[in-house]
Amino acid sequence: MQLGGAAIADLGNDIQTQLLLSRGVAREAIDIHRRPALRDFLPDPSVFADMDRAAERIAEAVIAREPVTVYGDYDVDGATSSALLIRLLRMLGHEAQHYIPDRLLEGYGPSGEALLKIGKAGSSLIVTVDCGAMAHEALGMAHDAGIDVIVVDHHKCSPELPRSYALVNPNRLDESDAGAEHGHLAAVGVAFLLAIAVVRTLRQRDYFQHRREPDLMALLDLVALGTVADVASIRGLNRAFVAQGLKVMARRANTGMAALIDASRLKAAPSASDCGFALGPRINAGGRVGEATLGVRLLTTEDPDEARAIAEQLSRLNEERRAIEAAVQEAAEAQLAAQHNSPVVICAGRGWHPGVIGIVAGRIKEKSGRPSIVIALDDDGPEGKGSGRSIAGVDLGAAIIGACDRGLLVKGGGHAMAAGLTIAADQMEAFRDWMAERLEGPVARASAEQAMTLDLAVAPAGLTPDLVTTLESAGPYGVGWPGPRIAVGPVTLVKADVVGSDHLRVIAAGQDGGRFKAIAFRAAETPMGQALLHGAQGRRVWLAGRAKIDDWGSRPAAELHLEDAAWAD
């Protein structure tokens, strides 16, 4: 039977509906989730504690032309949050300075010394972004010196808040129910809501009588990049942020963002996946192994030549980061066997570069299937810096704060999926034991619930570019809004080999004439990889994974990013 155009459209619409329903969307809300727009998800910024107080203070600074410094973290969320507020103030006719701490010399978060230095240089208002929620001592020093500090953050908070002029964070323990609903926002999302509140406050003060109001939508490319790269949950408001932000990014109006896209050698308009795997790592490379200010400088410059030079520098640093990361990962993986019974993997070594431990923690998590923490101990010092990544259902940030409360860490914090810490070397064993006890139950429950959920099963000939387009229509995808997984089969393997660095490639064919390529990244040595390389001859198999477009040939073809396989007979 031949399907006409209308029938194909109805089929695509039905698949999209099923994808939305399976991700928890109520049937009556399907329409607003088909094309997520801000008007359907954006809250009134005033529902957040301290939001109006923060907006009033920034508005006063704009009107009075008061010196302002934005103090950001050195990762992508910090760089995009800083750039967003700097660009906002520039749109309002006011320039702001930035301060990004050096990862190796200063560590995470604001230090009292840095805040006092900024104050002495003339800034009586400092806005910290993506940091500050747990900086009690540093903010106390600034408060005593008469410096107003506004904290814009999303990390876990302790019951006692630091002394600040205002602290805007949906994860405050005293946040309203309406504000706490948005605890999954990245810091850049919180910064965007603050931008809305600032403009509204200035409008009420007639600031725009003789001045055009800023186009805040033009800042959404920064929100999309920071949200995806910080592994924030892509649901609700975040999904609208990313969907609309990718459209803004495609217009290339931000000079630095356009240079970053070019340096990443992207052929098409960036996708959410590109933000996570191409654009984000380059911004991060500056803070990890280079100069921490490169990211915010790139995203705020209006000079194409400067943007091009910074983007190229970040690409070179990203290559350097990969080499350093490979060495640390090899050393960390050597410690896995001794921890096979622990619910949490904690690897530590002297001489490991602190700038790559977060990435390595993510790799170890993927390999072990457990929350993982990688700690770079000082070569000859008493402390080490660590970074952790978690699995779905296990709140690592809360565990790290708990370890701090018990005196096991010098400092630490984070959110459910990622956390950072500083630890005294002589506390390592006590920290391992406490974390294992704390996370044993949550990890067991999360592991018991783990299963590969499939959205669709198709015959080999059904894996087509049109199907990929239909599946992508329910995006953007990410943490909390997983990309659709499909099963394709039964197939026989025409070819199976290893390509690149431990990647498995197969060519599969079905009895219906369908033929496609599948690739499993870093999987050649896994049980699945070995089975398909050496045990699949003459046997039929089902392949499962995510359908993607392969556009390397003369015309686009569909391929499968392979995640699992099962014998069909």
Q: What is the DSSP string of 239-290?
A: HHHHHHHHHHHHHT-SHHHHHHHHHTT-SSS--HHHIIIIIHHHHHHHHHHS
Give the domain-ending residue among 449, 473, 504.
449
As given in the structure block, the two tokens for residue 390 are 């978690």
In a domain, 27, yes or no: no
Pairing type for strands 557-567 and 503-509 reads unpaired
DSSP state of 44: P
Which H or E run includes 140?
A: helix 136-144
Q: What is the DSSP code string of 308-321?
A: HHHHHHHHHHHHHH
Residues 177 and 62 grouped into a single domain: yes
Residues 133 and 190 grouped into a single domain: yes
Please tell me the predicted confidence (pLDDT) of residue 288.
Answer: 85
Please tell me the predicted confidence (pLDDT) of residue 214.
Answer: 97
Please tell me the predicted confidence (pLDDT) of residue 547.
Answer: 96
Count Cα neighbours of 295 within 13 Å in the Cβ-side half-sphere.
Answer: 35
Residues 290 and 426 grouped into a single domain: no
Residues 443 and 469 grouped into a single domain: no
In a domain, 5, yes or no: no
Residues 304 and 360 grouped into a single domain: no
In a domain, 271, yes or no: yes
In which domain, by residue range, is 493 found?
Answer: 453-567
User: The CATH number of the domain where 483 resides is what?
Assistant: 2.40.50.460
Helix (H, G, I), strand (E, B) or coil at 551: coil
Nearest alpha-carbon partner for 415 in 390, 449, 447:
390
The CA distance from 334 to 13, in Å, is 48
Q: What is the 3-state secondary structure (H, E, C) of 374-398?
A: EEEECCCCCEEEEEEECCCCCCHHH
Domain count, the chain: 3
Does residue 207 contact residue 63 with C-beta atoms inside 8 Å? yes
The CA distance from 364 to 339, in Å, is 12
In a domain, 226, yes or no: yes
Q: What pLDDT digit, counting tens, does each position of 387-434 carry? A: 999 998 999 999 999 999 999 999 898 888 899 999 999 999 999 999
User: The CATH number of the domain where 389 resides is what?
Assistant: 3.10.310.30
Count Cα neighbours of 259 within 13 Å in the Cβ-side half-sphere.
Answer: 25
In a domain, 35, yes or no: no
Give the domain-ending residue among 282, 316, 350.
316
Residues 478 and 425 grouped into a single domain: no
Burial classification of residue 7, based on how many CB atoms lie within 10 Å of its CB (0-12 exposed, 13-18 middle, 19 or more buried): exposed
Residues 104 and 211 grouped into a single domain: yes
Please tell me the predicted confidence (pLDDT) of residue 535.
Answer: 87
> Cα-Cα-Cα-Cα dihedral of 154, 446, 228, 176, to 10°?
-30
Nearest alpha-carbon partner for 151 in 267, 235, 47, 72:
72
Give the domain-ending residue among 416, 449, 482.
449
The CA distance from 261 to 476, in Å, is 18
- Chain centroid offset of residue 380 CA: 33
In a domain, 86, yes or no: yes
The CA distance from 98 to 61, in Å, is 16
Indicate the length of the chain as a whole number.
Answer: 569
- Tell whether omega for the bond before 476 is within 30 degrees of 0, i.e. cis: yes
Q: What is the pTM of this model?
A: 0.87
Residues 379 and 488 grouped into a single domain: no
Residues 307 and 406 grouped into a single domain: no
Q: Write the CA distances from 108 to 37, 101, 249, 397, 409, integer angstroms.
A: 34, 7, 29, 15, 14
The CA distance from 387 to 358, in Å, is 5
The CA distance from 518 to 506, in Å, is 5
The CA distance from 125 to 149, in Å, is 6
Pairing type for strands 456-458 and 125-129 reads unpaired
In a domain, 103, yes or no: yes
In a domain, 196, yes or no: yes
Residues 480 and 430 grouped into a single domain: no
> Cα-Cα-Cα-Cα dihedral of 440, 444, 445, 447, to 10°?
140
Please tell me the predicted confidence (pLDDT) of residue 12.
Answer: 53
User: The CATH number of the domain where 169 resides is what?
Assistant: 3.90.1640.30
Which residue stretches of the chain have pLDDT < 50?
Answer: 1-9, 11
Residues 254 and 369 grouped into a single domain: no
Residues 363 and 507 grouped into a single domain: no
